[in-house]
A and B are shown apart, each in its own frame.
Chain A
């Protein structure tokens, strides 16, 4: 799967971000993914409150 991630996203920050998300999900589930996504959004200048649905 990781090979496919690299193939689809290429050698980019986005690709590394995708790998990090998959790894986070395996280690800490949806909450860990949310944490990583929220960090990513912060870098884009967007501050979103973490909230579990």
Chain B
């Protein structure tokens, strides 16, 4: 393992020029605060790693290592490990140029290769070096005097776990900033509620900001205007002062003049600078009168007359309003009438349509019955009426009966005659009278002759009867249809007549609707142009015009009067101009102070709110979410820390006891059990006596605790396989009683058997105790004049 032979410093911190410090096995650097002890220790660290703790922690810059009087510094460290020699040279310029030269057994290595080689040979990085080689009072005090928590922090530092605490602390710093941010956002949201109405009025924060920007320009413009007006008012006042006597003498006239002028200006301004057309009222009156006359039959006759005659403005106003109201009422009535007429028209139209339908239905029925009717007519033409046909039939039937009776008699007579002839009867079988055959034959022949014609007649009668029977039968069958036909025909005629009447009435209703609509349209057109406001405006303008006319006349009179009193137009203009400028100045000043007030309020809104509520809420949510994530993260890191403590303690436990027993020679403690307490995960040390009694660390003496601390550090050194054979104690145990110092010296004696020791202290007493206990140690007195100087001494100077 490498031990330091010598340290060469040139312009390093307080060491101006070149200095060489040759070290032995045990070395004490003694000097007051700021003498240069720590610089020597920093030089060792700088030589090995190119940095040192203060630089790493950003307390100092690397160039701060250069002596204030110099532009460049260098450190050379010569170390020996058995037969091997390692020399490290580092150089640093104010402009930041660095150079490393490494000589390994005389062989030079440079640059990056030199850094890597050096790291390999040393077997430790700066972190391990600061924890296990360079021991300050910070490393030991926490362990010896602290609470369980402080002791755990000290051990964490030895283990290199303190980095977790460092990270957690750094995160906590950000946590705080996050909470402040959240608080600020809550404050802004609260302020948003306070200014909600103002922000709403401007349409959002963006518009508030935009208005604020705009206000800057407005304020500047108003300021310029105010300044210009002030100057103008001053100048006019100066000129006016020359005519003050005349102006005061005619103050009453002037006041009336200004009052009249002001009123006239107001009236002219209201007329938008133009002359008021006073015939507008007459036109309006005429239009109303014409309308009233048109509807005279509905409105009564006197209204038109009253409109015509109204001369006074009040009477005219009341009459025009009355006419307007009457026309509006009339309009409503006409609308009602149109509605009624239209309803009537619709009803007639519907009735006509219904009648049309019924007509069509009757027509169809007539068409269907037409054939039966025509057949009946045809039969009528042949047989007259049904009654006639029936009578003819009865007659024919009677005649036929007679003919058939004659035929039957004739037939019987012929049979009797034939029989008499055949039988040659001599007497008539009917009457008993004499009979001859010839007579009988003749009678038979005569009957035969007459019988033929009778048969023909009977046949003809039968034929005629059949014809009459058919006709009667058919006429009887048709008589129902014919009656229906006749009735339908009558109804059809009635329907047609009614429909014609209804259509006529519908047309009349339609005409009436059109007439009413025309009237209403004219009325509407008038009422669109004319309403209460139009009338009121026209009358008001009319009144104003009359008033303006009167004021102009009075103004001219006053001007004449003033001129006669010696107040010329020029003086009047000057006074008037002065008054105008003064008034405008007042207005501009009021506007300016209003702009200032608005600007102040908006600045407050922007300062206290800054953004719209939804943006603020979103940002607050983000901040709270981020805060939650960091809390979770820190909790996990705490878990990492405790787990790492347990694992590292397990690894170091055995070696720690070996080192402890080799350091601690008093025999009252045979073993120290190291573990983690369950509740908070702190380190727990229990000393075990030869009799097996167990003592917690709080029951141990400071010296015993110091031994445990060093044993732990050395055990870790062993485990870490560091190739550095020296231990540096930078003010290891200040402000402690003599017993602890004695204990520490005893430990140094033991440590010196294995390691090279370098102790820096400002305590004369401590340095002397060490020197007394280890007589071979090198005692360096470090003093500071223009430069720090390290002198090897046998006794410390007074």
Report the minimum CB–CB distance from A23 to chain B (whole Å).
Answer: 9
Report the minimum CB–CB distance from A32 to chain B (whole Å).
Answer: 8
A49 to B647, CA, bound (A): 38
A19 to B167, CA, bound (A): 11
List B residues 156-176 near A (Cβ within 8 Å). Answer: 160-161, 163-164, 166-167, 169-171, 173-174, 176
Pairwise interchain contact B640-A8, C-beta atoms closer than 8 A: yes
Pairwise interchain contact B127-A4, C-beta atoms closer than 8 A: no
Report the minimum CB–CB distance from B522 to chain A (whole Å).
Answer: 71
List A residues 28-53 near B (Cβ within 8 Å). Answer: 28-31, 33-34, 37-38, 41, 44-46, 48-49, 51-53
Q: Does B206 contact A (CB under 8 A)?
A: no
Report the minimum CB–CB distance from A26 to chain B (whole Å).
Answer: 6
Pairwise interchain contact B626-A30, C-beta atoms closer than 8 A: no
CB neighbours (8 Å) of B647 from chain A are: 4
CB neighbours (8 Å) of B127 from chain A are: 26
Report the minimum CB–CB distance from B614 to chain A (whole Å).
Answer: 14
Given known contacts A21-B167, A30-B166, is B174 in contact with A37 (CB within 8 Å)? yes
CB neighbours (8 Å) of B161 from chain A are: 1
Given known contacts A22-B167, A31-B58, is B174 in contact with A48 (CB within 8 Å)? yes
Instruction: Point out the residue from B56, B181, B639 that lies within 8 Å of A48, measured CB to CB.
Output: B181
Report the minimum CB–CB distance from B676 to chain A (whole Å).
Answer: 14
Pairwise interchain contact B643-A4, C-beta atoms closer than 8 A: yes
A26 to B160, CA, bound (A): 10
Q: Does B700 contact A (CB under 8 A)?
A: no
Pairwise interchain contact A25-B625, C-beta atoms closer than 8 A: no
**Number of contacting residues on B, CB 8 A?**
34
Pairwise interchain contact B163-A26, C-beta atoms closer than 8 A: yes
Report the minimum CB–CB distance from B537 to chain A (whole Å).
Answer: 60
Instruction: Point out the residue from B57, B626, B630 that lies within 8 Å of A29, measured CB to CB.
Output: B57
Report the minimum CB–CB distance from A35 to chain B (whole Å).
Answer: 10
Q: How large is the interface on A (under 10, 10 to 19, 20 to 34, 35 or more residues)?
A: 20 to 34
Given known contacts A26-B127, A30-B170, is B640 in contact with A1 (CB within 8 Å)? yes
Pairwise interchain contact B58-A14, C-beta atoms closer than 8 A: no
The dominant DSSP class at the A interface is helix
Q: Does B636 contact A (CB under 8 A)?
A: yes
A53 to B637, CA, bound (A): 21
- B125 closest partner in A (C-beta): A26
CB neighbours (8 Å) of A38 from chain B are: 174
A37 to B629, CA, bound (A): 11
Pairwise interchain contact B166-A46, C-beta atoms closer than 8 A: no
Q: Does B644 contact A (CB under 8 A)?
A: yes
A28 to B170, CA, bound (A): 12
- A43 closest partner in B (C-beta): B626
Q: Does B178 contact A (CB under 8 A)?
A: yes
CB neighbours (8 Å) of A25 from chain B are: 163, 166-167, 170
Q: Does B623 contact A (CB under 8 A)?
A: yes
Pairwise interchain contact A28-B643, C-beta atoms closer than 8 A: no
Pairwise interchain contact B174-A41, C-beta atoms closer than 8 A: yes
Pairwise interchain contact B58-A46, C-beta atoms closer than 8 A: no
Q: Does B695 contact A (CB under 8 A)?
A: no
Pairwise interchain contact A44-B164, C-beta atoms closer than 8 A: no
Q: Does B266 contact A (CB under 8 A)?
A: no
- B172 closest partner in A (C-beta): A53
CB neighbours (8 Å) of B626 from chain A are: 41, 44-46
Pairwise interchain contact B178-A18, C-beta atoms closer than 8 A: no
CB neighbours (8 Å) of A1 from chain B are: 160-161, 163-164, 640, 644
User: In this complex, which of A17, A34, A52 has the most chain B Cβ atoms within 10 angstroms of its Cβ?
Assistant: A34
Instruction: Point out the residue from B58, B171, B625 that lies within 8 Å of A28, measured CB to CB.
Output: B58
Report the minimum CB–CB distance from B652 to chain A (whole Å).
Answer: 14
CB neighbours (8 Å) of B178 from chain A are: 41, 46, 48
Report the minimum CB–CB distance from A27 to chain B (whole Å).
Answer: 8
A33 to B626, CA, bound (A): 16
Pairwise interchain contact A46-B623, C-beta atoms closer than 8 A: yes
Given known contacts A41-B626, A46-B178, is B633 in contact with A53 (CB within 8 Å)? no
- B160 closest partner in A (C-beta): A1
Instruction: Point out the residue from B57, B58, B636 that lies within 8 Å of A8, measured CB to CB.
Output: B636
Report the minimum CB–CB distance from A38 to chain B (whole Å).
Answer: 7
A14 to B57, CA, bound (A): 26
Mask, B638-666, CB within 8 Å of A = 1, is 01100110010000000000000000000
Pairwise interchain contact A37-B630, C-beta atoms closer than 8 A: yes
Q: Does B22 contact A (CB under 8 A)?
A: no
- A52 closest partner in B (C-beta): B173
Report the minimum CB–CB distance from B385 to chain A (whole Å).
Answer: 116
A18 to B57, CA, bound (A): 20
Q: Does B677 contact A (CB under 8 A)?
A: no
Report the minimum CB–CB distance from B635 to chain A (whole Å).
Answer: 10
Report the minimum CB–CB distance from B161 to chain A (whole Å).
Answer: 6
Instruction: Point out the residue from B163, B622, B633, B640 that lies within 8 Å of A45, measured CB to CB.
Output: B622
Instruction: Point out the residue from B160, B163, B170 that lies within 8 Å of A37, measured CB to CB.
Output: B170
- A10 closest partner in B (C-beta): B636
Instruction: Point out the residue from B170, B639, B644 that lies within 8 Å of A33, measured CB to CB.
Output: B170
CB neighbours (8 Å) of A9 from chain B are: 636, 640
Q: Does B487 contact A (CB under 8 A)?
A: no
A46 to B177, CA, bound (A): 11
Report the minimum CB–CB distance from B160 to chain A (whole Å).
Answer: 7
Pairwise interchain contact B164-A22, C-beta atoms closer than 8 A: yes
CB neighbours (8 Å) of A31 from chain B are: 58, 170
A34 to B633, CA, bound (A): 14
CB neighbours (8 Å) of B636 from chain A are: 8-9, 14, 18
Given known contacts A1-B160, A44-B626, A46-B623, is B181 in contact with A37 (CB within 8 Å)? no
CB neighbours (8 Å) of B640 from chain A are: 1, 4-5, 8-9, 18
Report the minimum CB–CB distance from B433 to chain A (whole Å).
Answer: 163
List B residues 320-357 near A (Cβ within 8 Å). Answer: none
Pairwise interchain contact A33-B177, C-beta atoms closer than 8 A: no
- B637 closest partner in A (C-beta): A18
Report the minimum CB–CB distance from A19 to chain B (whole Å).
Answer: 10
Pairwise interchain contact B643-A7, C-beta atoms closer than 8 A: yes
- B162 closest partner in A (C-beta): A25
A5 to B181, CA, bound (A): 29
CB neighbours (8 Å) of A8 from chain B are: 636, 639-640, 643
Report the minimum CB–CB distance from A2 to chain B (whole Å).
Answer: 9
A5 to B639, CA, bound (A): 9
Pairwise interchain contact B176-A53, C-beta atoms closer than 8 A: yes
Pairwise interchain contact A29-B166, C-beta atoms closer than 8 A: yes
CB neighbours (8 Å) of B166 from chain A are: 25, 29-30, 33
Given known contacts A41-B626, A53-B176, is B167 in contact with A29 (CB within 8 Å)? no
CB neighbours (8 Å) of A28 from chain B are: 56, 58
A53 to B57, CA, bound (A): 15
- B647 closest partner in A (C-beta): A4
List B residues 117-169 near A (Cβ within 8 Å). Answer: 127, 160-161, 163-164, 166-167, 169
Beyond contacts A18-B637, A34-B170, A51-B177: 11 other A-B pairs, Cβ-Cβ < 8 A, are A1-B164, A1-B640, A9-B640, A25-B163, A26-B127, A30-B170, A31-B58, A34-B173, A44-B622, A46-B622, A53-B176
7 tightest CB-CB pairs across the interface, nearest first?
A: A33-B170, A30-B170, A45-B622, A1-B644, A46-B626, A4-B643, A44-B626
Which B residues are within 8 Å of any A CB, using their own CB? 56-58, 127, 160-161, 163-164, 166-167, 169-171, 173-174, 176-178, 181, 619, 622-623, 625-626, 629-630, 633, 636-637, 639-640, 643-644, 647
* 5 A-B contact pairs sorted by A residue (CB < 8 Å): A1-B160, A22-B167, A25-B170, A31-B58, A45-B626
